[in-house]
Structure 1
Amino acid sequence: MRDEQAQIYLLSKPFSTLDYPFGEEVKVFRVKNKMFATIALGQTAKSAKATDEAKAFYWMNLKCDPHEALILRDIFPSVIAGYHMNKAQWNSVILDGSIPQGEIERMIDNSFDLVVSKLTKKVQETIKIYL
């Protein structure tokens, strides 16, 4: 999945918005003003663990259940602890084409659902109408 495809899928979520609070190079996706994803070119990652090859791709940060986050990191080399995020609850997904599109969409869905689950019941019900 390329970054453009990911952006289209992220914005297809109900009440999803895009803004740039960290500058033009970091796209932040929100639902009801709560962040559920970011996309940035990997060159912005100064992590010593990131290879030069990985820095050539876009990275997408997604919220994740802590247990599942560890499992995904074990399964996919292109899933690492969330860059500039809470490492227990966020993963960075390197969009290098190595992860099937359906799996990335599932990760996006889970991130969205986790964030929505923390909203008020009234807001959750409003969002669920569109799912």
Structure 2
Amino acid sequence: MDGDDVRTHCLSLPATGEEYPFGPQAAVYKVAGKMFALLAEDVDPQRVSLKLPPDEVEALKAQYEGTVLPGYHLNKRHWVTVLLDGVLDDGEVLGLIEESYDLVVAGLPKRLRPVAPRGS
């Protein structure tokens, strides 16, 4: 899995937009103006930061020490940074992206949620 795969998957989710507010090295993926993923493209290995429930953040950091890190420049309680180094398989990374998206969508007011929910 690489940054292109992450980008493609993020943009496949309903009502997702891509922005570069921090410069060309970091793509931010948002739904209804709320970030659910940040892809650092200018590092090796590439990495994606994702929002997850706090208990899952701690479990993933413990299980994948060195690959799942505290969210870089983000709230460490709610965000992790996942290195795209092959330790997590593609399905696991894609699942975490979807979980982050779903978590952000669930926190949106109903009027701002995408019309077509994911998977329908």
What is the distance in 1 between the residues matched to 2:82 and 2:30?
17
Change (3 A) 1:126 1:75: same
* Of 11-20 and 119-128, the range deviating more from structure 2: 119-128
Which consecutive residues of structure 1, in runs of 5 or more, have no partner in the other structure? Answer: 44-55
Q: Which residue of 2 aligns with 1:91?
A: 80
What is the distance in 2 between the residues matched to 1:17 and 1:41?
17
What is the distance in 1 between the residues matched to 2:76 and 2:53?
11
1:76 and 2:64 are equivalent in the alignment: yes
Give 1:123 shift: 2.7
Which consecutive residues of structure 2, in runs of 5 or more, have no partner in the other structure? Answer: none
Equivalent of 2:112 in 92, 108, 123: 123
Give secondary structure in 2 for the equivalent of 1:126: coil
Task: Output one character per residue of 1:76-128: Cα deviation in whole Å (capped at 9) or x when no partner.
Answer: 13101000100000000000111111111110011001110111113336242
Alignment identity in percent?
34
TM-score by structure 1 length? 0.84
Q: Which runs of 4+ in 1 moved over 4 A?
A: none
Q: Which residue of 1 aligns with 2:47?
A: 59
Give secondary structure in 2 for the equivalent of 1:113: helix
TM-score by structure 2 length? 0.91
Higher Rg: 1
